[in-house]
Structure 1
Amino acid sequence: MAESSRCETFVFLDLEATGLPNANPEIAEISLFAIHRFSLEHPERDESGTLQLPRVLDKLTLCMCPERDFTPKASEITGLSNQNLTNNHKPGFDRTVIKTLQEFLKRQESPICLVAHNGFDYDFPLLRTELQRLGADMPEGTICLDTLPTLRGLDKAHHHSTRASHGKKSYSLSNLYRRYFNDEPKAAHSAEGDVYTLVMVFLHRAPELLQCFDAEAQSWDEIEPMYTPTPGDSVVEATMPEMHYPHPLPLRFYSQGCGLDAKVRRGPELFWILSRVDSSERERKEELSKSELEETSEVTEANKNPYMTKNLFYNIFNRWPSNLCLKTYREGKPTTS
């Protein structure tokens, strides 16, 4: 792996999500603390010698409302729910989130190392999945470090003993904090609270963790998505060129299994159209006419929520394939007005 000296900024990361990996979770909260290598190599202490959170650091915490429902257990643990996120008008993991993350990371000296506890099995793959939905990625050269297997390996090599009060060996973030600081972690299972705990745990073992960086870190490019978004999770943006109609028609399609939601803009007006498409009939191609577009829009404008004709849908995608610009992204699920 790359030498540790190559990473100048360590971005400590935690995610809160709708469930465990087997539930194909979505991110509901993300928190990052960006700390320069200097502060990890020269930790701050108070008058009693107790480690302190570095004074110089950048923080970013965002909440977002996922489309997927929280599992009851995830909601209980995190204190988040679809309801309270909706009540606070939080949009989902969209392009605004991506831009905010990119700008936050752009402020940091590169190369960057992402640090998470159980990151290889949860945080990194889930973040990769969410980024993949939007066609986005981390900065080139990003490195990842998971403190869970790294600390376990260090203890095994040096015969340390990290145990909870009941005597069983544990490497949960909370138990590590209790062991190292003889105190309860603050705001556990909030993303920002867990990042604070992670930073303090890292500082406690910083010399060892930085020394073993080469053997334990992985390139972001090696991280696989937690799961491949299904058609029901993907969102596609396309702009149809101005050909039969006086206005270009930006189309945003939200696939929902066998169906598809499309938002069609004609001039200043906005229409919701629900399209049910049988993929086995995709070969059918018929002429797209101005009258067909107008008829569909007029019915939608009357709030009758019609089905877009299959022929119209196929023609949009098959008539001008070279002129369609498709980008994966995520936005709030449409509702019929």
Structure 2
Amino acid sequence: MSASCTVNVNKSEKSGTQKLQYCDIQPTIIKSKEFIHPVTVITFDIETTGFSRNLDRIVEIAFQDLSGGENSTFQTLIDPQCYITNSSIHGITNNMVASCGVPRMQELIPIILQFVKSRQKPGGYVLLVAHNARTFDVPFLLHEFSRYSIDIPQDWLFLDTMTLARQLMKLSDSKITKISLEALCEYYGIEVDGEAHRALPDVISLSLILQRLTFDLKLDVSDLVERAFTPLDLINKKKK
């Protein structure tokens, strides 16, 4: 049996000059015959130096805990230790990542782990949600962790909102024709301050899109967990 989940946008917080909106998910418990695990839902997004997970690197990452509250967002540029050739896409330049204080991934991973742990409910799982997570964000994240022989925590699950968007597009009364983040923002009338293809604005947009997708598809958190995947799922699929 699973508890129902209601998602509401009812909190805001200012970070610098930008007003951030948060989706609050009411405390939801995933239940089975033998265990009860609370689930923390965190959206995330990355920007990279290119599309090759083997050759390219992450240059920016952002997270947003949908439960909101103080310190519920995290964003940073990352020194990729290589030349950025696609600045025209995300606007992140070599000078920006070479600035004093911009961490390298090896320095950042412990900070990411600590941030997620600080938002995680005791004894619970973390559901990390990204748009195109299965083929882009998660493979890049896995490669960065493995580069430094660090494992993704076993209580991390991942969800790709493109899967939900495709599911909605198949409904007979759906008017969705494209499932990119930009197209979904336009479809749902979502406007977020900030540059497109930057991690934090994209994460804020995704949080709002996730709210609307789960409402339209009548999904609760237990349904999202059922659609989630683990790093091992990607590794096994690659071996086949």
Fold shared by both chains (TM-score > 0.5): yes
Equivalent residues in 2 for 1:1-337 (5 A)?
5=30, 6=37, 8-21=39-52, 24-36=55-67, 54=68, 58-71=72-85, 74-94=86-106, 96-107=107-118, 108-109=120-121, 110-162=124-176, 169-181=177-189, 183=191, 186-207=194-215, 208=217, 209-210=219-220, 212-224=223-235
User: How far apart are residue 205 of structure 1 and its match?
Assistant: 2.3
Q: Equivalents in 2 of 1:204, 1:160: separation in Å? A: 13
Please identify the structure whose Cα radius of gyration is greater: 1
TM-score scaled by length of structure 2: 0.73
The 3 A distance-change label for structure 1 pair 180 and 57 is farther
The 3 A distance-change label for structure 1 pair 9 and 214 is closer
- Structure 1 gaps of 5+ residues are 37-53, 163-168, 228-337
8 Å CA contact 1:185–1:197 kept in 2: the answer is no
Q: Equivalents in 2 of 1:157, 1:57: separation in Å? A: 37
Counterpart amino acid of 1:113?
L
Kindly provide the CA deviation profile for residues 219-239 of structure 1, in whole angstroms up to 9, marking residues without a partner as x: 2332349x9xxxxxxxxxxxx
Q: Equivalents in 1 of 2:52, 2:103: separation in Å? A: 22
User: How far apart are residue 138 of structure 1 and its match?
Assistant: 2.3
The 3 A distance-change label for structure 1 pair 111 and 147 is same
User: How far apart are residue 171 of structure 1 and its match?
Assistant: 0.7
- Structure 2 gaps of 5+ residues are 4-28, 31-36
* Superposed CA RMSD: 2.7
TM-score scaled by length of structure 1: 0.53
Secondary structure of 2:44 counterpart: strand
Q: Which has the higher contact order (CA 8 A, sep 6+)?
A: 2
8 Å CA contact 2:127–2:225 kept in 1: the answer is no
Identity among equivalent positions (%) equals 25
